[in-house]
Amino acid sequence: MRNTAKLTTAVLAAGALTFGLTACGSDKDSGSSDHTGPLVVAASPTPHAEILDYVKKNLAKKAGLDLEVREFTDYITPNTATEDGDVDANYFQNQPYLDDFNKKRGTHIVPVVTVHLEPLGLYSHKVKKADALKSGATVAVPNDAVNEARALKLLASHGLITLKDGVGTEATPQDIAKNPRNLKFKEVEAAQTARSLDDVDAAVINGNYAISAGLKPAKEALVLESAKNSPYGNFLAVKKGNETDPRVKKLAKLLTSPEVKKFIEDKYQGSVIPSF
């Protein structure tokens, strides 16, 4: 049995008052100086928590690291929990997403080490090739700013749409310059994109959610994001000031070890790609 503590957003919300009270009077711009006890890391279930569980079971004890993994199914709570000090670190996100999150929410999360890339992919239960999408087809895309832009760029890179010149990491359907197939876009929470497959003609799904839904990105995606020079590598992150926590340094070293690289390659078969 896995020793992972599974927390839902609802459970955390119920305890938010307690966490908020303990955080009162703390300096939000600096990390905690308490580097004792287990290192508690918030992570998405797949593949992040799976990778951390591998480290916990096979590498942590020898390295003198007491590691606790807490699973979250959304993209918001891991950062707010890290900011508030409920967890020591998180592992689930990429740099464009973190930059956008810090800017909009006033948090102070910083990356420590990049571990892997989960290629974003276009999937469908109705067609077997992207060019088989009919005129007026509906495509589900993540509704957060960074992943929606990433999804549109994926479609553009394969000629399904053309984006306006100079569009950055906040592109929306309004930034589409050419849409020869008259594709319609349904914006849904990233975690719901895989579940929307039966209701739309195709969906752009983040790698972790695709794997959780039983999809095989390397084999089943109609089009798949290239790993070359990608800014979307997923990393271990902490609240600013905690980068030098000895426990964090130990985990960073283990997450980029040859053993973890082999584990990722063997388990995910190209659906998750080591970034080191």
**Domain 121-224 in CATH 3.40.190.10:** yes
Top-confidence residue, 19 or 200: 200
Mean pLDDT in the chain? 88
Helix orientation angle between 77-84 and 9-23, rounded to the nearest 10 degrees: 20
Average pLDDT on 172-183 reads 96
Top-confidence residue, 127 or 169: 127
Quick one: pLDDT at residue 140? 98
Segments of the chain assigned to CATH 3.40.190.10: 5-13+28-119+231-274, 121-224
Quick one: pLDDT at residue 20? 39
Quick one: pLDDT at residue 200? 98
18 has pLDDT over 60:
no
33-80 pLDDT, tens digit per residue, is: 567 799 999 999 999 999 999 999 999 999 999 999 999 999 999 999
85-94 pLDDT, tens digit per residue, is: 999 999 999 9
* Structural contact between residues 127 and 222, judged by C-beta atoms closer than 8 angstroms: yes
218-275 pLDDT, tens digit per residue, is: 899 999 998 778 889 999 999 999 999 999 999 999 999 999 999 999 999 888 999 9
Q: Which segment of 10-24, 125-139, 215-229 scores lowest on mean pLDDT? A: 10-24
Quick one: pLDDT at residue 34? 66
Quick one: pLDDT at residue 242? 98
| pTM, to two decimals | 0.73
- CATH code of the region 5-13+28-119+231-274: 3.40.190.10
E-only strand ranges, 173-258: 176-178, 184-188, 202-205, 223-224, 234-239
Quick one: pLDDT at residue 230? 86
6 has pLDDT over 70:
no
Q: How far apart are CA 121 and CA 207, in angstroms?
A: 7
